[in-house]
Amino acid sequence: MSQAVSPPRVASPPPSPLPATLRRNAPLVPTDSSASRALAAVIAILTFLAALCAGAAEIVASSADQWQGTVAQEVTIQVRPSPGRDLDADVARAETLAKATPGIASTRVFSKAEAERLLEPWLGSGLDLSDLPVPRLVTLRLAESARPDLKPLRASLAEALPGVASLDDHALWLRRLSTMANTFVGVGVGLVALVLVATGLAVVFATRGAMAGNREVVEVLHFVGADDDFIARAFQRRFFRLGLRGGIIGSLAALLAFALAGLLAGAWRTGPAGEEIEALFGAFHIGWRGYASVLLIGVIASVVTGIVSRLTVRRFLA
C-alpha cells in the first residue's frame, strides 16, 4: 500500500518593508528636504520684509516724537512791517512783552538778514529783498517744567501791536506731523500683518504637500493606534523649527540691514544729502523698541508657522 505524498510547502512571501520614512529613529516629517529648505527660505524672506517695515515705522515714530518735542518747546512771534511804524521798535516791544510772560525761558530776535535768509529756499539766493515787506521773527524758548499759558501773551500782543504782531504756537503743524507719523506707523503695521498672512498661506500649502507625501506613513500610524493629536504635534514641531530658523535668519538680516544703513548715513553725514537724511530720520538707530519688535516678528513668524501647520493637519485628517 503506497503512502500518500504530501504536496511541497510553498514559502510564504517576506513581509513588505515599511515606508522609508518609518525607519528606526527616523522622524515622521522629513527633516532635510528641498521643500523644507525652500519653506525656510520663504519664511526668512517674509520675516526680513516684515522686520524692515517694523523698523522703518519705529524710526519714523521716534523721529516724529523728537521733532514734536523740539517744536513744542518753541513758539514764534511774527512782527510785520506797517506803514508809519518803526519795525525795530515793534520788534523790541514784542520781545519785552514776551520776557514779561511767565514760563518763557529765553527769547531770540532774528535780524533782517536772517529773516531774508529764511526765504532763500523759496525765492533763491542773491536777490535784493530790501524793498519787500519781510516780517521779523522773535522765537521764544519755553520752560521745560510745564507748558505756560500763552493766552495772556497773545492778548498783550493784540493790544500793544494790533494788526502787526501775531503769535504762532505751531499747533497746526504739530497735528499734521502727528497725523503723518501715525499714518506711516499704521501702514507699517498693516504691511507686517499682510506679510504674516502670506507666511501662513505658504505654510498651509507646504503642510498639505507634506501630508500628501507622507500619506502612507499617516495611514500606518492610524493603523497602529496613533491619534490625530499625535500626528498633528509631529507636524507642528517640525514646522515650528522651520519657522524659527527662517524667522531668526530674517530678523538677523534685518538688523544687519539697519546697521549697514546707519554706517552709510554716518559716512554721508558730511554732505548736504547726509545732513537732510539725518534731519529727517536721525542716524537710523531703531532703539530698544525697534530691536525688540524685529526679534518679536521672528518669534511670531515661527509661532504662526507652528499653529497654522497644526490646524492644517487637523483639517486634512478630518
- Residue 116 and residue 240 in one domain: no
Angle between helices 228-267 and 272-281 (to 10 degrees): 140
- Residue 135 and residue 230 in one domain: no
Question: Among 163, 182, 197, where does a domain finish?
Answer: 163
- Residue 218 and residue 305 in one domain: yes
Question: Among 121, 140, 163, where does a domain finish?
Answer: 163
Does residue 230 belong to any structural domain of this protein? yes
- Residue 60 and residue 87 in one domain: no
Residue 45: per-residue pLDDT: 92
The 10 Å Cβ neighbour count of residue 295 is: 17
* Helix/strand/coil for 214: coil
Which residues in 125-162 are b (16+ Cβ under 10 Å) and which e?
eeeeeeeeebbbbbebebeeeeebebeebbebbeeebe
- Residue 189 and residue 150 in one domain: no
- Tell me how many domains the chain contains: 2
- Residue 148 and residue 90 in one domain: yes
- Residue 254 and residue 158 in one domain: no
Does residue 9 belong to any structural domain of this protein? no
Give the residues of the chain that fall short of pLDDT 70: 1-33, 121, 124-130, 145-146, 265-285, 318
Those residues whose C-beta lies under 8 Å from the C-beta of residue 13, and which sit 6 or more positions away, are: none
Short-list 32, 39, 106, CA closest to 75: 106
Does residue 6 belong to any structural domain of this protein? no
Does residue 1 belong to any structural domain of this protein? no
Question: Among 97, 128, 163, where does a domain finish?
Answer: 163
Q: Which three cell numbers stand for residue 154?
A: 497773545
Which residues in 221-233 are b (16+ Cβ under 10 Å) and which e?
beeeeeeeeebbe
Q: Which three cell numbers stand for residue 179?
A: 497725523
Residue 17: per-residue pLDDT: 46
Those residues whose C-beta lies under 8 Å from the C-beta of residue 318, and which sit 6 or more positions away, are: 228
Answer yes or no: are the C-beta atoms of 77 and 140 closer than 8 Å: yes
Does residue 18 belong to any structural domain of this protein? no
Half-sphere exposure of 166 (CA within 13 A, CB side): 6
Encode pLDDT of 31-40 as tens digits: 566 777 888 8
Does residue 169 belong to any structural domain of this protein? no
Does residue 15 belong to any structural domain of this protein? no
Cell 525652500 sits at which residue? 38
- Residue 185 and residue 280 in one domain: yes
Residue 15: per-residue pLDDT: 43
Residue 48: per-residue pLDDT: 92
- Residue 56 and residue 96 in one domain: no
- Residue 59 and residue 88 in one domain: no
Q: Which three cell numbers stand for residue 72?
A: 513744542
Answer yes or no: are the C-beta atoms of 182 and 286 closer than 8 Å: no
Residue 249: per-residue pLDDT: 92
Encode pLDDT of 69-96 as tens digits: 777 778 888 888 888 888 888 888 888 8
Does residue 131 belong to any structural domain of this protein? yes
Cα-based distances in Å from 4 to 1, 7, 9, 11:
9, 9, 15, 21
pTM tops 0.75, yes or no: no
- Residue 187 and residue 281 in one domain: yes
Residue 205: per-residue pLDDT: 85
Provide the domain limits for residue 90: 81-163
- Residue 312 and residue 206 in one domain: yes
Q: What is the DSSP string of 63-126?
A: HHHHHHHHHHTEEEEEE---TTS-HHHHHHHHHHHHHTSTTEEEEEEPPHHHHHHTTHHHH-SS
